[in-house]
Amino acid sequence: MEMTPDPTLATPVAVLPANETMPWVTPINDTGSALALGIAAAIGTVWWIVSFFVLPGVVPSSIPISGLWASMFNDWMTVAYFSNWVIYLLISFIEMVAWFVYLAGYPTFMLIWTSTVNFWGCLIIYVLPWMFAVLDIALATLPSEASWFIFGGSFGVWLVLGIINILFTDRFIGHAFALMETGMPGRTCDCTACKDVPEELRDEKRADELKVWIEACEQRCRKECPAQFEEPCPLQRKENEPYAVWGSRCSAVAKVYAKERLEESDMQ
């Protein structure tokens, strides 16, 4: 007599929600977002330096840091220059420092700075220099070339940096969270040592010992540097889901998967 399988005992099949889309980038490997923010910080820093040395339309010619100091705050143009020096020092320059710290293998500082001070500073506080320049242009009887220069430069940088931060800050947050969850591949986490086989194990007669040494090294590295063995995220990113949330979900799955692989290797 043929038995009819009970449908309630069938293995359930995971069905993805209809509103999910396939991810085009894995959070932990999304270094492009960090690079974009680093370039934005470099642009802001370069503009900050340029504003120290360019003062068009002034006779005799002089550099702003010395030529404007005596008349600082006497008009809106000098206020625009001064605010440009202070604001870009406190935001873009520190963002660039945070980016170099990230490149050294420590994403936490850049995560905190980028998602708070840098993001809102680029969108809101960077309005001040070109707004003061507009006031000088509107109120002065004969606006100076320096006012037009500080207006055009600060407005252009504000626009570019604002767009970059809107596009990439959320992605970088997910990237940084994924790195902190699974380990940051960099100077503090390097698995290339497994390729440096000791001289005494390079003898063909010790091939079995060499195999054991390599497997032990790779297993140790998987524990210390799981990000270097990270698989593409098996989870689909939901429509409009923040990258930080998606990155955390991917990291949680990655840690479970890594633990299972370690347990399997220990049993062998």
pLDDT digits (tens, 9 = 90+) for 145-175: 888 999 999 999 999 999 999 999 988 988 8
Identify the CA nearest to 84 among candidates 63, 64, 57. Answer: 64
Q: 120: phi > 0 → left, psi -120 to 50 → alpha, else beta; which?
A: alpha
pLDDT of 41 reads 97
Using CA atoms, how far apart are residues 42 and 37, in angstroms rounded to an integer? 9
d(CA 268, CA 28): 29
Cβ-defined contacts of 68-75 (< 8 Å, 24+): 75/136, 75/140
Q: Is the pTM of this model over 0.85?
A: no
Cα-Cα-Cα-Cα torsion 214, 219, 225, 226, nearest 10 degrees, comes to: 130
CA 221 to chain centre: 25
| Number of CB atoms found within 10 A of residue 60's CB | 5
One digit per residue, the tens of pLDDT, for the chain of length 268 reads 444 444 444 333 333 333 333 345 567 778 889 999 999 999 999 999 998 888 887 656 666 766 566 667 788 888 999 999 999 999 999 999 999 999 887 888 999 999 999 999 999 999 999 999 999 999 887 888 888 999 999 999 999 999 999 999 988 988 888 777 655 443 345 565 666 777 777 777 777 777 777 777 777 766 666 555 555 566 666 766 666 666 667 767 766 766 666 666 566 5
